[in-house]
Structure 1
Amino acid sequence: MNPKGRLFELRTYTANDGKLDELLSRFENHTIRLFESHGMKIEGFWLPVENAEQKLVYLLSYPSAEAREDSWEKFQNDPEWIAARDASNINGDILANKESVYLKATDFSPLK
């Protein structure tokens, strides 16, 4: 992965059965602030209209692919994140699956 310029990352998290509210709470109370503190720009969060699969979809952006790698490395090693993640998983993992798709904006995209 080495696109030039701004990089977008579309992430889809599938919560384990009955754990979506816990996942949303973790984002609201911990993850969002930590993402921002590590240079990740949050473009938005969405729940599918038909959310039978317990999914959270969100879009992040970074100045470059290198900035993305640096931000994620710092985030994943942040002691506050590790504590929040471990505390939210104390009664079992809240995540069943996570997927990422890397995107670059077209010349006519309003998000450049």
Structure 2
Amino acid sequence: MPASAPALAPKNAFYELRTYYAAPGKFEALNARFRNHTLALFTKHGMINVAYWSQPDVTDGKLIYVLAYKDLAARDAAWAAFRADPEWQAAAAASEVGGKLTAKVESVYLTMTDYSPTLRLGQ
């Protein structure tokens, strides 16, 4: 399990909801890449892993997750560093020898409403 990223005040955090639609027959490989590489690399680059869900009843599976950041600029910097990381590039290349793991990726930015229950991030 990766080390925890710094805690953020949940109501001031900037969130990103990401949905990955697995390529045909690649759902388990996608989960393995996240389990074995991606989460730790996200933490390394200052992203806070909030939660991950799978939707295996969808054809070939769907992975849905939420990351948190200080703000949009921190999000952009974290993703740039992540994508440039040689460790990520090697993990991605090795996991996609047999083809891409995703057929589609969606990303939605979110901020918490003032009436939302508070979460404890980074714990």
Q: What residue in structure 2 maps to residue 35 of structure 1? A: 42
Equivalent position amino acid for 1:89 in 2: E
Gaps (5+ residues) in structure 1?
none
Structure 2 SS opposite 1:51: coil
SS of the residue corresponding to residue 55 of structure 2 reads: coil
1:99 to 106, 113, 122: 106
Q: Are 1:60 and 2:67 counterparts?
A: yes
Corresponding pairs, count: 108
Question: Could you report, residue by residue, the CA deviation over 1:23-68 in whole angstroms, capped at 9, with x for unpaired residues?
Answer: 0000000000000010000110001263324100000000111100
Q: Does 1:8 align with 2:15?
A: yes
Matched, 1:24 2:31: yes
Q: Does 2:115 align with 1:108? A: yes
Does 61-70 or 102-111 show the bigger shift? 102-111
**TM-score between the two structures when normalised by the length of structure 2:** 0.83
Q: Which residue of 2 aligns with 1:84?
A: 91
- 1:13 and 1:69, CA in 2 relative to 1: closer, same or farther beyond 3 A? same
Corresponding residue for 1:71?
A: 78
Aligned-residue Cα RMSD (Å) equals 1.3
Residues 105 and 111, structure 1, Cα contact 8 Å, conserved in 2: no
Aligned to 2:6: none
Distance 2:56 2:101 in 1: 21
Letter in 1 for 2:38: T
**Unaligned stretches of 5+ residues in structure 2:** 1-11
Classify the secondary structure of the residue corresponding to 2:30: helix
State, as a whole percentage, how many aligned pairs show the same letter: 44
